[in-house]
Amino acid sequence: MSTTTQHLSEQELIRRDKLKQLQELGIDPYPAAEYPVNAVSTDIKARFNEETKEQFQDICLAGRVMAVRDMGKACFVQVQDGSGRIQAYMRRDDICPGEDKSLFDVVFKKLTDIGDIVGVKGYVFTTKTGETSIHVREFSILSKALRPLPIVKEKDGEAFDAVTDLEFKYRQRYADLIINPQVKEVFVKRTKLMQTIRQYYNDMGFLEVETPILQPIPGGAAARPFITHHNTLDMPLYLRIANELYLKRLIVGGFEGVFEFAKDFRNEGMDRTHNPEFTVMEMYVAYKDYEWMMDKTEALLEKVAMALHGTTEVQVGDNVINFKAPFRRVTMYEAIQEHTGIDISNMNEDELRDTCRQLGIHVEASMGKGKLVDEIFGAKAEGHYIQPTFITDYPVEMSPLTKKHRSKPGLVERFELMANGKEIANAYSELNDPIDQRERFEEQLKLMQRGDDEAMFIDHDFLRALEYGMPPTSGIGIGIDRLTMLMTNQPSIQDVLFFPQMRIEKE
């Protein structure tokens, strides 16, 4: 036995034998010619009736065999195409009008398996049980499946219990989509969500742009980057952790409204809401502030909910979340006091560290004031905000890229949007004072020297851009993956990514 066949199951060996038999019969199991598809299952089932039946007398449909009910000289076959399933009725004398019945008796009944991709031509009719079906006149094999579908249970030739193993679902998404076609709806809605956001900003006259993924400085966020090396330039490069600083450069250059759907990368932990590769939409507008951005953001999410569901109320687990604007607005310090009973607004770093110990929150020696406040909020307040809520006015130490608050010393004009206990958006009145920005970067450098591996690098080119003058600007980042989780009622980020990051598969 060859090395290749040693690892094949009995079913896989049988299918390879069937493949060989098809080839010996002169049938190409993987034909190159175009197959003239002119119909899809959902359209047929939606539009076929007595008045329209003349339109369905010569249809051609392709899809995957998902079930077979053998009746001897006839079969009922469930064919699944990209839109859904439809029943096909195959009768031997229709498929094989002459004396040679091998196309039905051998090719279809013996050499065709569940999972094979086939083409059928014929006309549409309604069975005695009222099911819209295709009466097949011609049958073709378009792709022989050499691996059986991982069906848990099967009865009368049809799967009725889909695979739910998460390892399988995330690693073999292609097979998951075949046997759990409802999974497609999540990704269809994800695309519609992104299209709605794109159209919203297009209608406002903003320009969609692209900025570098490989960056010499990993700027725009406090996060640990992935590092690589460019051989020709002989220099380290970083996969971007955010696209913020490049979009602001464009505002400096004269664009007054820009946005980008960006793939960002952070070399951090993985859990139900974090994947090392994720999608963020960032948008920046000149001459606006964070108050304007709150108004536009709540209007956007109301629009997204309506586009996906036809209502602003979205079921998320046990909660019904209402995205009807306006959303509640609470300051960071008010939120912490509301859920701990402690006013931390005037505490220094040592007092914050003592408060963390009092609240049972583990902290590291490298954490500065901003990180400590963030830890308290994350541990004691964040999870309570189920309905959409803007958390506003953060301590300056938490926000090195944000403009100082116009009336509240020690704070900045920033908000995060919470929903279902998680952050889904982060926005600022952007810092455009180059001297203040340089000082903030230098404070981040001190944190890095203390051991904070998420502190920001100093981006000297960005500082140079600010020195040319950036107009008053408001910016926002919206986590597309988390927003999709909310809008499609999915419990894990892996459920809204086609191919989430996983460990290397064992042999």
Residues annotated within a binding site for Mg(2+): 416, 423
| Integer-rounded Cα radius of gyration of the chain | 29
Cα–Cα distance for residue pair 387/340, rounded to 1 Å: 19
Cα–Cα distance for residue pair 236/243, rounded to 1 Å: 18
Cα–Cα distance for residue pair 197/261, rounded to 1 Å: 10
Cα–Cα distance for residue pair 208/224, rounded to 1 Å: 27
Cβ-proximal residues to 413 (8 Å cutoff; 6+ apart), any chain: 289, 290, 393, 402, 403, 404, 405, 406, 428, 429
Cβ-proximal residues to 20 (8 Å cutoff; 6+ apart), any chain: none
Which regions of 266-410 does DSSP assign to beta strands (E)?
A: 277-286, 313-316, 319-322, 328-331, 389-395
- What are the φ/ψ torsions at residue 451 (nearest 5 degrees)? 110, 5
Say how far residue 71 (Cα) sits from the centre of its chain: 44
Helix (H, G, I), strand (E, B), or coil: what is residue 370?
helix
Q: How many CA atoms lie within 13 A of 329 on its CB side?
A: 15
Place of tokens 């009622």: 489
Per 3-state DSSP, the chain is made up of helix, strand and coil in percentages (nearest 5) of: 35, 25, 40
Exposure class string for 265-287: b at 16+ Cβ within 10 A, else e: bbeeeeeebebeebbbbbbbbbe
Cα–Cα distance for residue pair 333/89, rounded to 1 Å: 67
What's the token pair of residue 89? 């009725």
- Contact call for residues 391 and 412 (beta carbons, < 8 A): no
Report long-range pairs for 27-32 (Cβ below 8 Å, ≥24 apart). 27/107, 27/141, 29/141, 29/143, 29/144, 30/142, 30/143, 30/144, 31/140, 31/141, 31/142
Cα–Cα distance for residue pair 293/284, rounded to 1 Å: 10
Residue 311 pairs with which residues in a beta bridge? none
- Contact call for residues 208 and 201 (beta carbons, < 8 A): yes
Q: Read off the DSSP letter of residue 175.
A: H
Cβ-proximal residues to 249 (8 Å cutoff; 6+ apart), any chain: 462, 465
Binding site as annotated, residues: 416, 423
